[in-house]
Structure 1
C-alpha cells in the first residue's frame, strides 16, 4: 500500500483551466466535470492587492486560461490546495515562465530547482516585470505585513471597547 502513494501523489493529470484566481492559483476542470484548485509549485506571485498582482494574474491568464494543461501534484498546502507543477503548450512549465517574465518570485524554500533562481536573477538584472520596482516586496513578506496590520487593528479596537466600557 505504501508503494502506491507516491505513484498517486506524483501522477500526471490533465484538465482545462476555467479560472485564474491570481498569478499562482488556477482552477482546472477534470473529467467528470470535477473542478480542482491548484497552487503553482516553486513560484510565489504578488498578491492581488500588491504591486504587479494584477499583472501576474493577467500573465497567467494569457498563458493558460481556456487551455488544456497537464499537471503533476507534488504536495498540499496548509489551506488544503494541491501544489502542482503545471505544463502547457508543448511542455512549457508555467512557474518557470512566470519567473522568467518577472511576474513571480522563485519560492526557494519549497523548490530544489536552482535554475529558477538563476532565471529570477536574470529578470532582476534586466528589470523585467516586478523587478522594475526597486522596492519590490516578496509576497510572503507582504502577507506577513498584512497579518500584523490586521492584528494591530484588532488590538486597537479592543482598547477602544475597553475605554468605552470604563467611561460608561
Structure 2
C-alpha cells in the first residue's frame, strides 16, 4: 500500500481555511471583525513571505476559542465546511483522492492549520488520517494554546515521521 500525502490549503481547496475561518468567526460575532481580519491579513502576508512565527499566529487565531468547548466549535465548523469550504474544493483534488482510494493507497492530509478545521474538511473529503496543529484543552475547554510539534515547515516532517512510526 502506498501513502498519498496532500497539503490542504491551495492544494485541495482554493483558499486558506484558517483565513476563511477568521472571516467566519467575524460573521459569528466571536471577534471584532474589522481589527481581527486586518491583523489576520497582516499575519498571513508574513506567512506568504515565510517570515511568520506560527506560534504567534496560533496565539492570535485561537484567542476567540478560549473558554469554548470542542463541541461548541464543531457545531459551527460543520456548517462552515459545508457552506464555505465545499464550494472551494478543487475538482481535480476529488479526482486524485478517488484515484488513490481506488488504488488502495492510504491517504493523509497534513496542514499548518488547526486540527478542528483540517479534520472536519478531511472528513468531508473522506480522508481519515490527518496531521494538523493540535489544540490544548483544559477541563473540556480550549485553552488557546497548542500542544505538540506544530505541523508547520519542518514540523510537518517531524510529525509525519512520528505518525509513520506509530
TM-score by length of 1: 0.30
Between structures 1 and 2, the one with greater strand share: 1
The two structures have a TM-score, normalised by structure 2, of 0.30
Greater Rg over alpha carbons, structure: 1
Structure showing greater relative contact order (alpha-carbon pairs closer than 8 Å, 6 or more residues apart): 2
